[in-house]
Structure 1
Amino acid sequence: MKEAAARIKINKLLEAAGWRFFADSNSPANIQLESNVTIRSQDLDSLGNDFEKASKGFIDFLLLNEKGFPFIVLEAKAEDKNPLVGKEQARTYARSQNCRFVILSNGNLHYFWDLERGNPYIITAFPKPDSVQSYRKITPNPSRLVEEVVGDDYIVLTQWPNYAAEAAWNNEAERPGFIAINGLRFLRPYQKKAIAAIQAAVKKGQDRFLFEMATGTGKTLTAAAVIKLFLRTGNAQRVLFLVDRLELEDQAKKAFAKVLANDYKTVIYKENRDDWRRAEIVVTTVQSLLFNNKYQRLFSPTDFDLVISDEAHRSIGGNARAVFNHFIGYKLGLTATPRDYLKNFGKSETKTTDPRVLERRLLLDTYRTFGCEDGQPTFRYSLLDGVKDGFLVSPTVVDARSEVTTKLLSESGFVVEFRDEEGENQKETYKQHEFEKRFFSDATNNLFCKTLMENALRDPVSGEMGKTIVFAVSQNHAAKLTQILNLIADRMFPGRYQSDFAVQVTSQVPDAQQYTINFTNNNLLGSGNFISAYKTSKARVCVTVGMMTTGYDCPDILNLGLFRPIFSPTDFIQIKGRGTRKHNFLEQLFDDELKEGVKTPVKSAYKLFDFFANCEYFEEEYDYDEVIALPKPKGDEGRSGTGRVGVIYKSYEHIGEDILSSIKEEEVGEYGMKIDRMFFQRFEDTVRQDTFIAANVEAGQWDRVVDYVNREVFDKPDAYYSLEKLRKAAAVDRRLSLREIIEKSFGLIQGFKSKDELLEEEFAKFVTDYRPEEATAIPALKNFFKAYVSNDQVRYSIENQQFTDLATNPVFTTKDLKAVPEKYRAIIPNYIKDYVPLNRFMP
């Protein structure tokens, strides 16, 4: 029965990958079952004692190429056997059929094995026929990769192969201008060391690497050199570059095209869905591939020979790691967040809900994913290294706290006393994470803005306030701060600005992404406001929430304002990194006489205004460079209005009596009631006809779509749509998200997956990540995994170690728990807490 169950699953996996048991109108069958083969006498000894030494054998599944020749040997084992037990048997069969590739599977756990490449590699889906055909063209040669000479002009030789013969290059006086005008990118010494570190790792037989490089040290250029190294030496045919945010797609594509276009083509997947195979470098967001399991449906494990994950612990965090692990071959992670960033901080020291603990676990998992369990990356180059070598600048950190924020930061919190409707004295306590969410203070926001503008670094050329990025709590908070900054600028610089001193740059603002580009290019809302010959942005402050954190490059930034508490070390590292790049301001000045009067043209520092003790939060006892004591905001606490603390209360009003007059039961089928189906259809028509929703769905701007539907479509008099009503109308056995409902409305998914279908997918991702060697225990692991996700009582019993309660649990019993290997009784709950959104499985 277990062998039959395994074969049924294998049959489905083969068909899903495009292999054919039967011929169709266009193509012949390319699967042979139980093929009889003759084993060469010289291969008999390799079979070992577990296989009958006979001159004949049977291949479970023999997959054929487009010409009908043997191509892949698939060795099937029963569900309770580890697929690897058939490894040598499959190798012998493969040799007898002149096959390079082997698949080993027990229906739950699968390995793809390239006999010319190394060891079997766990896969979650079987490779597609055309993908393996393409993959076959690459015969890896690690020795060539290791021996490749990578000099500082490794990238330049692609940009301009004969640059060294140019007169302007050979003239030392003209050389800097020649480099700048032609955009030539020479590798820095530490970037060459990073490449050498990969070569050394490959020489040791490693295929996973991690670069830990500070923001501003050129991770993308280093990645470009790695890509060239693998493609040029024939160790990769196609590279996948994963980013975690939509705006970084175009940025990465432009960066690679700028330095590699003469030799290799770069495309963004969503813009080239039909011809991405023609490119050597494919850029996409991990979210795009994760959506509706696109990575499994549209891509074969053999489609990419090198996968690079930018900002690794973001782009492979949670379920996204399944995308990364889907592809075989070499893997490189890039991160700016060190594993040991949280000093002397471990899981056991605080509760697991602490955001620092959760992020630390992600960091640990990132190092484990890239084969760096000992905490040592393949290559490390820190902010301190960059400052010491003269490539980066350190911040001057300014600690500024008002009395209100000091109380918010304290353990006791900010306490507001008030009287309720019955005249009783009540107290409400607010903590730092509730600032601008439940706790509002216009006076505090005014104080923050005034402090920033009075103490910010000035531009060394024009004397105006240096370019600044302010990080707000929310889009609403960003709008408030932008207005306050513009009002203050009117008073401080009369006539200089017309409400264009500060600009809100968030996803709700049209063309916000273009604003970030204009700010870098010094033409946001104009240029040269103080000196016409000086190209610097008229807008001096961009107020954002998260758009300008990761991957944003603006070297002439002089001030950063943390107007919000930060709980993620990655966010903190990224935000700090916006100011670390060096810059010479004379490059923007086009008046030689004025240049002579600029005393300090080179950026040597930037100011980081910390209004919520974020540095102290992450760095224990942080020694601030500058401390500013802010006065207490004026105003009566507990009352709403301008200049005062406001508190929002939720209320419930019920008038009169109500009783249940009758009750009637009626079973509704899987398609729901007709009125439900009509209700759902009307909603689909409504959102499809909305041009704003349609445009943002096409652009993948899901935050905008969800926010807009909640704001502009739900609870309107014409239909009173709501998420709960739509969930009920859909009649699915789990809780649907609004995004899923909209995806179905636009035909992006054909239907809603059941709870069990999603559980199967989540468990497959877990298996790919942890690769359990105990193959016989996989059914027990799956049973435990599903029960823990979907059953509150099981989850409560496990979390509180009340295992005796399982004796009477109808879903998962004590006997079921004993069948789970002991180490997985902790691994699976921790994995689910971090990576599986339980809300999706609620009824």
Structure 2
Amino acid sequence: MDFAEKQQLSERDICRIFISPAIERAGWNRTSQIREEVYITKGRVLVSREGIRRANPKWADYILYYKPNIPIAVVEAKNNKHGVGDGMQQALEYAEMLDVPFVYSSNGDAFLEHDRSLNSGQIEREIPIDSFPTPHDIWEKYCEWKGIEEEHQKQIVNQDYYPSFAGKTPRYYQINAINRVVEAVAKGQDRLLLVMATGTGKTYTAFQIIWRLWKSKTMKRILFLADRNILVDQAKTNDFKPFESAMTKIKNREVDKSYEIYLSLYQAVTGNEEDKNIYKQFSPDFFDLVVVDECHRGIAAENSAWREILEYFSSATQIGLTATPKESREISNIDYFGEPIYTYSLKQGIEDGFLAPYRVRRIDFDRDLEGWRPERGQIDKYGYEIEDRIYNQKDFDRSLVLEERVKQVAKNVSSFLKKTDRFSKTIVFCEDVDHAERMRQALVNENADLIAENSKYVVRITGDEPYAAANLDDFIIPENKYPVIATTSRLLNTGVDVQTCKLIVLDKRIQSMTEFKQIIGRGTRINEDFNKYFFTIMDFRKATELFADPEFDGEPIQESTFEMPSGHGSKSGQSQEKQKSHKYVVGDVSVEVLAERIQYYDQGGKLVTESLKDYTRKTVAQQYGTIDEFLNEWSEAEKKQQIIEELEGEGVFFDELEKQIGKEMDAFDLICHVAFDKPPLSRRERADKVRKSDYFAKYGDDARKVLTALLDKYADEGIENIENMEVLRLRPFDNMGTPFEILDYFGGKQGYKDALKDLEAQIYEAEV
């Protein structure tokens, strides 16, 4: 093939004719070691007035595996019009995400190799197209990079995953986490901490770790501990199911020692009296591996029951799983387990599109900001004299109840649901059980019509509620319509997988970063089958100010002073669910909304606290220095939608801007008005200007009808909806002919595209 012919080949042709054969000739097995066009991420969820869509996912042209569970190289391909190394920067990004050391770029002429395992020397080199390294060569270098030197270590690392079940295969970060842990265990490390954000599959990851260590006979007896029954039962029924007859759940006071995999609620194997400590029926060396789920809750405290179990089985390898490492002067997971072996954060999960982004609606009441003081000798609803002092937000619903405040929260929550979707699963976090019950009553009264249809539209799910378990089961099952709104205090904070939760309401003071992360985690799961892609946080207590704290999505820092001391998890600790103190109840004090604002989680992973208009102005200015730059870019863009999507990806929310301005405006006018202070025109005003011109005269009757319909659609829905050719299959175009017939009205596809571009120029003629 000569140079000119090769230059005309597409990227996929270059892969098929040159790159794939070169890799296979080096001894790589096409079936088990080579994967092409591998999607690494799903693409961040973007929410706009046009609906839900995703940013472009990241995908690699090739990922090479020594075994199906061990990725060791990335290859990025380009067509022959590019240089050999033009794909290297992209490939390096993927290699860092995938935790692989060997990176290649090729245009079909040769390969550029980047060796991330080297600290010095020739890190990059060009190699001939027929000299691609063999699997054995790369594997040996990989093992050296990882410090896996002995043969028995390689055997452990080489152990396969459990084959895909229920269509589930590990995501890239799960592979990283699993391999990091298995490699560390192979090298003899016996205390490991794995940090993965809520909703990223910690239990599935734990299963694959246990499976590989168990199958390789590295660990023969394994104990999986959790502090909530639902976590144990979910693991046994779902992710751990392949263990089948080798697995048991510890339930009774007597234990059967014939199993290999044991699942247990830690409370089920401990007690305040020595004879109730079931775990001591096992010898201290019975288990080879102990895995602790949600290990942030009390485990790190030196006097906790968790620690007693772990110290009893101290000869076992121990792995802690958590979404929120607990670090304080009193408690430290890192002190016990060591630095995290791998961390996958909420921020990264949202960016990758595996976790749901969120918006925050912050609502401030006058009484919260100004406080309230009773009159001298004033008595409450039940005849108790109210202590004379100023009560503020930290007192409300703890020591004093303003009934109108509870009603205002319920009213605002209900109003939001009525404007969006009244059947969005909602969790309302309250100060305590009493507050949760009062909130349930207020929400019932605000939604009397739906309560009449089904009394379980609103329920209280707290530890003392007899029907809590049944209501919780119904609440977390996506297919179940009811309950819709659950009020709670602590029971739903952690461990509950509410896949379809779309609204989280914060009406409790939160002083623990760990608790805050766990509560936010109730909404982070995506469930595409039930149209759950993002969620909203309604904050009535300034709790979301914690988003600004570096600890929210940063690395855990030992010896932090942020956490408040807590007895949770200790023998002497008393559950906050059961604590009850006297409260004054006041029913005749008015409470009004003083301020409300919407905040956004931006592309950089931070909550935007400035006004949306200010944020938009700043973001547009970073992209386009002047209005002329923006107008030129808009005019020359093949599709205006590309510019809109780029700005939405940076956190510019056109739907909310349009609501704030109160006019049906195009994205173009929103940008010109907000960022460059141009007078705004509505879409309909722009469309009317085009209709009054003689623009349509140069087209035939059929073409004029099509263009008029496109203009109407623009006026109703915006520029984004006329740029996609699929619009020709919709009404009213389907009555004008087939898409092919419509294109013929313009002399073919290119003629139609030219006419559409001309129409867009007419729409924006005054500015562009």
The TM-score with structure 1 as length reference comes to 0.44
The TM-score with structure 2 as length reference comes to 0.48
